[in-house]
Amino acid sequence: MRNILEIRDLQVHYGGIEAVKGISLDVPEGEIVTLIGANGAGKSSTLRAIAGLVTPSAGSLSCQGEDITGKDSNLIVSRGITLVPEGRRIFPDMTVLENLKIGAYLRKDDLTDDLNWVFDLFPRLKERSWQAGGTLSGGEQQMLAVGRALMSRPKVIMMDEPSLGLAPIIVRGIFDIIKQINKQGVTVLLIEQNANMALKTADRGYVMETGRITLTGSGTELLSNEAVKAAYLGT
Amino acid sequence: MLQKNEKKAVTLRTMLAIMVLLLLVILLENISSWIPGMPAIFAPTSQLFTVLKKGAVYSLVAVSMNLLNGFTGLFSLGQAGFMLLGAYTYAILTVPMAAKDQVYYLYGGSAVKFSLVDLFQSLFGSAGFGGAVSMICAVLVGIVCAGLVAALFAALIGTPVLRLKSDYLAIATLGFAEILRAIFQWQTLGPITNGANMLKSFPTFADFNIKNAAGQVVLRLSTFVPFLLSIFCIGVIVLLIHSSYGRAFKAIRDDEVAAEAMGISLFKHKMLSFVISSFFSGVGGALFAMYVSNAQAKAFTSTMTYEILLIVVIGGIGSISGSVIGTFLYVACSEWWLRFLDAETYIGSFKVPLLRSGFRMVVFSIVIMIIVLFFSQGIMGEKELTWAGIGGLLKKLKPKKKAASAGKEG
């Protein structure tokens, strides 16, 4: 399968601190790829570098063969790569509908179909479309964050810990949605602490430790790997 | 979702309300000359009209500040500086050639060898209808230039200044305004800015009063004109806020990181908001110069910025109608309703204690402290005055709600 996203020897520095120490990974088109690892392993920095929020100090990023290393976030969004940021980060003082429209900010065409698509995925958002984003519950805010990202009609959606701070039943719902989005043709790059859920959902997994990728494999392979079990699954 | 028809009806009703309001202003201004024996409050010199004129000018500046502070989340304190630029640009460009020697007498005339007034008079004539056309053109072009100069300066300082965040941005813009104030009083620039002396004799609001051949005022328009200009500019800002740019501004205010992740270019949009806000501050400055009939750098102190900031806070940060209501309340209190506190008052032979010159400001400060402590959301919070809202209020209270001058569309 063709790789929609290719990362080669990516390094990210914050001042003198090296957060990502040269990683390479591939995201094949139409798959769910997950990146698991402990806090501070460099997962979020990797996503932020892809999204153009931080400039990588070395290495290259390419999307469908086009080099996107160090490009501005608006260019990256317009190339079809959208980030659902960690901690949801919806716009609290704007209505649900406004939040969704902001997701499509770079698009100039008609949004009706996409709004209906998002409202089909998350009927709850339709009910609350006139409510301020900040008044939603945590789970609803996560739905809104995902819906907002989908409004840019992405080819790749990157999610930074979508299960953070949510009840297990809500987390299951979110993962169902991720699978559903993926079936509709969107490639997913997922960061998770909830390794069990993530590896069960993903086609392929990468394990990151202190800025490096230490293990690669299909989701099921990693689930049965002893080292992964010991470190992340608690069994 | 709002239906198209409903939206149209709201727009139509808003337009109608603005027309009615403008007609009311004309009526109010002229009623004392049309019907003799009206109470003194309707006399053209009454404080009512001071409040209305100053209110119209200040609401524009307050709304432009709100665009930046309330809708884009950039805490800037440069308003007085941009007003100064606007006021001076307008004044320098519109002082008539005939008046220049007298205005610039200390510097032996002005270095600016043209005047918009004379320019248009040579095109349309200087008397009668042609004179009116050339005056209107000169004033409008002057005002637009005032806005453009302010916007240009905003674009120049925006690149370094907008990289700063919150308090630092406030300090930098405040400093910019103070530097401008000093530069405009600099002797060397005298032939252009008239140094520390005031610029005057340029067209003011009073020049819009229609006079007959004998020089008597037939129709007063000196309050109507600031209302018209201010409503037009506020209307443009309201349209901007409701556009997709406005949404991007609000997104930046709410969460910069998320906004950037959505592909919104932070710097470009901050710059856009800063330049547009400064443009309208410049226009507001020109209107202020027309209102006080002079332009003088020492009037545009940081106190003026604080005054406007206060209005924005009282009205509600992030509410256009709040800013407008806040402006009129603030101006009415400071110029009119609380004036009695400054006058020494005797009831019989008893002198009412505390009432003396300056006491007004004490009471004012206390009122403001109460507002900030207990009503930190301001009058409107982040809400806008909407037709539905007014309807609900009417049903509840049946009060006579005077429609705020603009920006009440929801």
> What pLDDT digit, counting tens, does each position of B322-349 carry?
999 999 999 998 888 887 887 777 888 8
CB atoms within 10 A of CB B5: 8
Of B1, B250, B261, the CB nearest to A83: B261
Interface probe for A, chosen from B262, B317, B377 (most Cβ of A below 10 Å), is B262
List the single residue in A85, A97, A106 with the smallest CB-CB distance to B258: A85
Per the domain annotation, does B26 fall within a domain?
no
Whole-number percent of chain B with pLDDT over 90 = 51
Q: What's the distance, Cα to Cα, between the start and end of chain A in Å? A: 33
Over residues B358-381, the mean pLDDT reads: 82
How close is the nearest chain A Cα to the Cα of B166, in Å?
A: 19
**What is the value of ipTM here, to two decimals?**
0.87
Q: Tell me what pLDDT residue B410 has.
A: 38
B99 lies in some domain: yes
Tell me whether residue B108 is in a domain. yes
pLDDT, average across residues B24-31? 90
Q: Is B263 part of the contact surface with chain A (CB cutoff 8 Å)?
A: yes
The alpha helices in B255-379, defined as continuous H runs, are 256-261, 266-292, 302-315, 320-332, 359-374
pLDDT at residue A234 in the model: 67
- Residue B388 has a pLDDT of 80
Average of pLDDT values for B193-210?
89
- Residue B2: the pLDDT is 53
B289 within a domain of the structure (yes/no):
yes
pLDDT digits (tens, 9 = 90+) for B220-272: 899 999 999 999 999 999 999 999 899 999 999 999 989 999 989 999 999 99
**Tally of helices (H runs) and strands (E runs) in chain A:** 10, 10
Overall average pLDDT of the B377-386 stretch: 80
CB pairs under 8 A between A and B: 71
What whole-number distance in Å separates Cα of residue A183 and Cα of residue B255?
31
In the predicted structure, residue B189 carries a pLDDT above the cut 50? yes
Please state, in angstroms and rounded to a whole number, the distance separating the CA atoms of residues A35 and A160. Answer: 10
Please, which pLDDT band fits residue B402 given cuts at 50, 70 and 90?
Answer: very low
The reported pLDDT for the residue numbered B342 is 79
Interface of B with A in 228-247 (CB under 8 A): 244, 247
For the record, the structure tokens of A55 come out as 């400039």
Q: Which residues contact B227 (CB under 8 A, 6 or more apart)?
A: B21, B22, B25, B52, B56, B405
Give the other-Cβ count within 10 Å of A200's Cβ: 13
| Domain total in chain B | 1
What residues in chain A have per-residue pLDDT under 70?
1, 234-235
What is the C-alpha to C-alpha distance for residues A156 and A31, in angstroms, rounded to an integer? 10
Contact A102 B251 (CB under 8 A): yes
Q: Which residue has the higher pLDDT, B382 or B296?
A: B296
Q: Verify whether the Cβ–Cβ distance A94 to B254 is below 8 Å.
A: yes
Query: In the prediction, which pLDDT does A125 show?
Result: 92
Alpha helices for B35-78 (secondary structure H): 47-66
The answer to whether the CB of A141 falls within 8 A of the CB of A84 is no
Residue B398: per-residue pLDDT? 61
A3-233 topology per CATH? Rossmann fold (3.40.50)
For residue B111, what pLDDT is reported?
A: 85
pLDDT digits (tens, 9 = 90+) for B59-91: 999 999 999 999 999 999 999 999 999 999 999
Give the domain range for residue B153.
54-299
- Indicate the pTM of the whole model: 0.89
Closest CA to A174 of A29, A27, A32, A25: A32
Residue B12 falls within a domain, yes or no? no
What mean pLDDT, rounded, does chain B reach? 88
Closest-CA residue in chain B for A77? B263
Mean local confidence (pLDDT), B355-379: 82
Residue B63 lies in a domain: yes
Is the backbone of residue B401 left (phi > 0), alpha (psi -120 to 50) or beta?
beta
Domain contains B363: no
